[in-house]
Amino acid sequence: MAKQEISDSLRAERARYVGLNAGSSAKHEEAKRWLPGGDTRNSIFWDPFPIYVSRAEGSKIVDIDGNERVDFINNMTTLILGHRHTAVIDALREQLEHGVSYPAPTPLVVEWGELMCERVPSVDKIRFVNSGTEATLNAIRAARAFSGKTMLAKCEGAYHGNHDAVQISVTPVVGMAGDAESPDSVLMTRGMTPRSADEIVIMPYNDLENAERVIREHADELAAVIVEPINGQCGMVPAEPEFLEGIRRITSELGILLIFDEVIAFRASRGGAQEYYGVTPDLTCFGKVIGGGLPVGAFGGREDIMSLWDPSGAGGPQVAHAGTFNGNPMTAAAGVATLKELTVDVYDELSEKGEYLRTRLREVISEMEAPMGVTGATSLFAIQATSEAVRDYRSYATNDGDLLEMVFMGMMNEGYLLSSKCAGNVSAAHTYEELDGFVEAFERVLRRAWDS
């Protein structure tokens, strides 16, 4: 399909979207009066304007225009049980009767911590925060305090939160990012000091040979290597088992701490991606799923590392960590309720649905000979607008942005909600009928473009 034809199809889908969402358009104009560009969360903004939500239930979300869509974003993978799951709502209502926050801990946070430590192989102790960003920030601080070193290694194309230690080489311009085998450290936003890039080294994802070389070259300086076992930024791209196994072997040999960012990847199994892969890190970062839909983050790991935060000694904690809403009872209630619902059977069913959806999408792409692909693992998936097999950032960067946006807009118009980069996830609330409907809508979107 020619570039001009894709552009024409994108314009047609945009026009259809504008016509369906007059109320959201007006609300966005109002939002611009008070919020910069009408936005307070970049990841849910898209051109020409986002939809504004009025309510949601189960697998469906309804906007202020009354349009109902099947939700395959689930607040960026958070709502693994779907919207307003009965157990979560009941737990929140019960806690609401007793108060929303206190200047002291509650029994719920103890139960929450026990559930996490019992499930996740590497977690002896855990601390709760309010976002994935806070989780990675504190895990990195712990690694530096424990090791006495300052440098960090991360993969190109990996997002680990909105702080200076990791807002580097997330979505760099390929022509300015150095060689694929040894990527440069590229700052991702204005306002960062150049020194931030000097405290991190970048390694390629799913390329063990070159990742090992980068790690060994900086072994004397590295406090930690941080890895996302399923790379969300590049389209839910799973780490190849030998890559994670190799990184664990190398870091263990060199005495470098290994941090898993499981803010998204905790969806992989009851014990997270580390149980799924059989690879045990030293520290793990969590978020999204574990809070049942409320703001949350957590970090945990080996007892000797986590003891840095023990406030009971004569000198108090060796590493600072505070937060007004850390472990708050509302999030703890939703988190405990969610974790109790997430049995092995639920995870197995989610993975089966995810595999079913990815397989059917690939069948449509193959039948239509579209220059596209599908990535993902367990309950996670993404549509890729490239004929290249996506396994790292450089292959992800070959995506046709207009084709991706055309699919996104087309699916919105068909009644299905994806991320603006066409990534998604299956929740326990999704039915196979809805999965089939998604695939059929995807085919209609492609045929509209291909037949135009």
Cite the active site residues.
Answer: 159, 261, 288
What is the spatial distance between Cα 136 and Cα 163, in angstroms, rounded to a whole number? 9
Is residue 80 within 8 Å of residue 428, measured between CB atoms? yes
Is residue 274 within 8 Å of residue 283, measured between CB atoms? no
What is the spatial distance between Cα 206 and Cα 173, in angstroms, rounded to a whole number? 20
Closest CA to 380 of 72, 43, 161: 72
Is residue 157 within 8 Å of residue 234, measured between CB atoms? yes
